[in-house]
Amino acid sequence: MALNRRRRSAIKPCSRKVIFISLLIVLPITIIGLINHYEKITYFLRPLWDTPPQPLNYLPHYYAENVSTDRLCHLHGWSIRPHPRRVYDAIIFSNELDLLEIRWRELLPYVTKFIILECNTTFTGIPKPLFFAQNRERFRFAEGKIVYGTIPGKKLVPGSEHEDPFLFEAKHRRAMNDLIRHSGISDGDLLIISDTDEMPSHHAVKLLQWCEEIPMELHLQMSNYLYSFEFHVDDTSWKVSVHVYNSKWTMYRHSRHTDLILADSGWHCSFCFRKLSDFVFKMKAYSHADRVRRKDFLDFDRIQRIICEGKDLFDMLPEEYTFHELIKKMGPIPRSKSAVNLPGNLVEDADRFRYLLPGGCLREE
């Protein structure tokens, strides 16, 4: 015992110094690390602090080329109508001109009116040109079907930059409801609510417009892609909804309306831009612009490298509710060589849209 104590006190002064110096080095590094990676750590621990949304009820979806619509309706437990419902496709537009063209060409034969609303600032208050108005000539193929509206942007009063972008989105929704009401829509018509980059497949829309007894409100499951159709992320996109319109209660709202969702009904292509400058614009315009935590996030070389590697532009972890999913999704998205089951006009026009297809990750400035 005495020996022990003597030995310990013999070591003590030296080891105390080591511990003190180590702490002096390790502690600030740990604190800086925690601050820098605060978001990553909270994302990694999401399965512990966040509860997943109510599960959706997936309806099986049947489709193959050359199977009659009558047969398809019956496979879903529905009957065919004597004539199709009129379809109204409503989007709030930012700057995704190529995706808008692909979307409208995909849906053109089935849609009665394309309702499109745009604004001269972004959700975060950055002034932007009215891209659709400036490029309207390009959409002449749909001219008779376009219902176009604009909404004045957010005024950026100095000091008010931190006004909630989500409130501004609510103003867009109200303007959209007005535009829909004045588009010629009647009760019983179909209304599609989605973002420009969430594209329903033509056959899903055709099915819903021709079948009787479909649900009054239905979400559409879409495959999620990032940067292009080369990077298939997962199939969890559910926000798009289709409504049998009722002037009393149908509301433009890009969120959960019902538990019902029709499987495999289209494509959600996020950050699918032709130019690197479009990526920078979107990163700044995003409702989550706070994710641009460092200036070099907006650097062209960095963005180009990340696109080709299938990594995350904001250097964030995937948003998942279980550790199993989170770990499965960490790291780059695997490349796909498939350009099968994509919008028909995209494949037809593959030379113009090379950057959206396998092997096309290089972008223009």
Ligand X SMILES: *[C@@H]1O[C@H](CO)[C@@H](O)[C@H](O)[C@H]1NC(C)=O
> What residues line the site for ligand X (CB under 6 A)?
66, 120-121, 127, 152-153
How far apart are the C-alpha atoms of 269 and 229, rounded to whole Å? 7
| Token pair for 132 | 């659709």
Question: What is the SS3 assignment for 284?
Answer: helix
How far apart are the C-alpha atoms of 141 and 138, rounded to whole Å? 8
Q: Which amino acid appears at position 206 of this protein?
A: K
Give the count of alpha carbons within 13 A of 260, CB side only.
Answer: 11
| For ligand X, the closer CB: 120 or 258 | 120
Q: How far is the CB of 68 from ligand X (least distance, A)?
A: 7
Q: Find the helix or strand (DSSP H, E) in which 261 lies.
A: strand 260-262
Give the count of alpha carbons within 13 A of 45, CB side only.
Answer: 6
| Alpha helices (H) along the chain | 2-36, 38-44, 46-49, 69-75, 97-107, 131-134, 165-181, 202-210, 276-285, 300-309, 323-329, 344-348
How far apart are the C-alpha atoms of 171 and 85, rounded to whole Å? 29
**Bridge-based pairing state of the strands 198-200 and 217-220:** unpaired
Give the contacts of 296 (CB within 8 A, at least 6 positions apart): 302
Q: Do 112 and 86 meet the contact criterion of CB atoms below 8 Å apart?
A: yes
DSSP single-letter state for residue 314? T
* Phi, psi (degrees; rounded to nearest 5) at 46: -50, -45
Question: What is the SS3 assignment for 42?
Answer: helix
Q: What is the dihedral of CA 306, 308, 310, 311, to 10 degrees?
A: -10
| For ligand X, the closer CB: 227 or 281 | 281
| For ligand X, the closer CB: 63 or 314 | 63
| Chain-centre distance for alpha carbon 310 | 16
Q: How far is the CB of 92 from ligand X (least distance, A)?
A: 16
| Chain-centre distance for alpha carbon 248 | 29
